[in-house]
Amino acid sequence: MNKLAEQINDYLRYSQIERGLSPNTIAAYQQDLLEFLAFVKEEQMPAWPLEAVEIDAFLAKERDLGKANSSISRLVSTLSRFYQWLVRQQLIALDPMSQIDAPKREKRMPLALTEAEVGKLLEQPDLTTDLGIRDRALLELLYATGMRVSEAVNLQLADVHANLQLIKVLGKGSKERLIPVSALALDWIKRYLPVRDQQLLKRGKSSDYLFLNSRGGQLTRQAVWQKIKKYCQQAGIAKDVTPHTLRHSFATHLLEHGADLRVVQEILGHTDISTTQIYTNLTQKHILDVYQKTHPRI
């Protein structure tokens, strides 16, 4: 089994170094493959199963544990890539995953806040505190740019080009993109910077990261979303806010106000426009609501 665990580690290193995948993606692969390894060990298999029926048994067990179709689809995707790598490395001769179909994924519409709800959310941080000013600047930036939380916490001071109203973002697969940012969000960042610098001075630290925690270290994704959950509760927003809610809201509101789909695709950093098109369903619903509320003959 140590040999199989080593092969997983080799594959994860390959995925990180050769394919340039993000730490979050690598962590997801690792979780999936370790679950598969636990199954192989439990079934006392001496090597990776080479029969589709054996892999189907693993997927059936995962379904029995209550995993959703989306999770099973991810498992199939992870195993497919892993087995392809095993073949290329000549560790196995045939790929059994070619006989396995992923379950159809349920398309869930992304949840977006209304413009009024976003306004309430942005007003929640306590501006009499240093952390409140930081949180307001961060929330304004997330809504102004549609960037991912992971992209925001990795922003460095040099990435903010205030004179051009642009921010350089390092996205998925280490792909850089320049995205526009509103003057309002830049004003909040400008207001936060002296607070940030004073915080570092007090602690005798230095940092290139834009957003810092109370100890002067890099802010984490988990901390950001704990804050957003807290602020949503304070604002009386009952929706089930996810890590992408402000990103979804940004894209939806741009399209509702007439933005071109291709422009939104570029700003969000989607490689495939079909990923961006899901927001058009939300805006069509908005158009229908407006029509029904405003047409005099309805």
Active site residues: 148, 172, 244, 247, 270, 279
Rg (CA), the chain: 23
How far apart are alpha carbons 232 and 239 in whole angstroms? 8
Structure tokens at 293: 């509320």
Q: Starting at the earlier edge strand, list the strands of the sheet with 166-170.
A: 160-161, 166-170, 176-180
Question: What letter would DSSP give residue 46?
Answer: S
**With contact defined as beta carbons under 8 Å apart, do 75 and 46 qualify?**
no
SS (H, E, C) 170-237: ECHHHCEEEEECCHHHHHHHHHHHHHHHHHHHHHCCCCCECCECCCCCECCHHHHHHHHHHHHHHHCC
How far apart are alpha carbons 11 and 258 in whole angstroms? 44
How far apart are alpha carbons 23 and 17 in whole angstroms? 11
**HSE-CB of 151 using CA atoms within 13 angstroms:** 27
3-state secondary structure of 168: strand
- Residue type for 184, please? L
Question: What letter would DSSP give residue 253?
Answer: H
Tell me whether strands 176-180 and 166-170 are parallel, antiparallel or unpaired.
antiparallel
Contacts of 273-278 spanning 24+ positions with Cβ under 8 A: 276/251, 278/107, 278/109, 278/110
